[in-house]
Amino acid sequence: MREAWSAGWWSGARRVASPNCDPRPDGCVPWLVVVHAISLPPDCFGGPGVEQLFTNSLNPAEHPYYAEIAGLKVSAHFFIRRDGELVQFVSANERAWHAGASCWRGQERCNDFSIGIELEGCDTLAFEAVQYGKLAALVEALRARYPVREVVGHSDIAPGRKTDPGPCFDWASAGFPVPKA
């Protein structure tokens, strides 16, 4: 069975709605995919931290790092876990809060025209083959539904401020060219 879209939600993902989103500006459609890496606590995988962060339910007493970030209001459209599980937090029709201060091809505020995909990972460990496969399938589905032209890393749209998806992200394994500004 082919996965389907409904109001920006992909049937191939487990849905966990985040309150950290808002409408895209009038006339803005997503044409850029931004790849991120995240792990909570840092360099730890498999726990509920990312979902808790994106749903504003992170307990600051659970880990010292959580106390530093508990007040953040952030989200991404999608999250790909190390085992390949795909979670969607925000409709692709809406603006997720993943890019922050950002610019690509002279256009600022990349959240307005991008879809954010978080991979469970960090700057120091390789990503899993199943994550690359899920990412490629998701981007293919996004391109079939939206006018996606480019795939870039968070570090490409926020150089000097962000490093993800990091040096261990293999653009060739993901099936995308290395971004060039």
Known catalytic residues?
A: 118
Residue 102 zone, left/alpha/beta (φ > 0; ψ -120 to 50; rest): beta
CB 93 within 8 A of CB 105: no
Among the residues of 16-158, which ranges form H helices? 49-54, 64-69, 129-145, 154-157
Measured distance CA(158)–CA(162) in Å, rounded: 6
Residue with tokens 């498999």: 46
In 26-171, where do the E strands start and end? 32-38, 78-80, 86-88, 94-96, 103-104, 107-108, 114-120, 150-153
- Is the Cα torsion angle 90, 98, 13, 40 positive or negative in sign? negative
SS3 for 105? Answer: coil
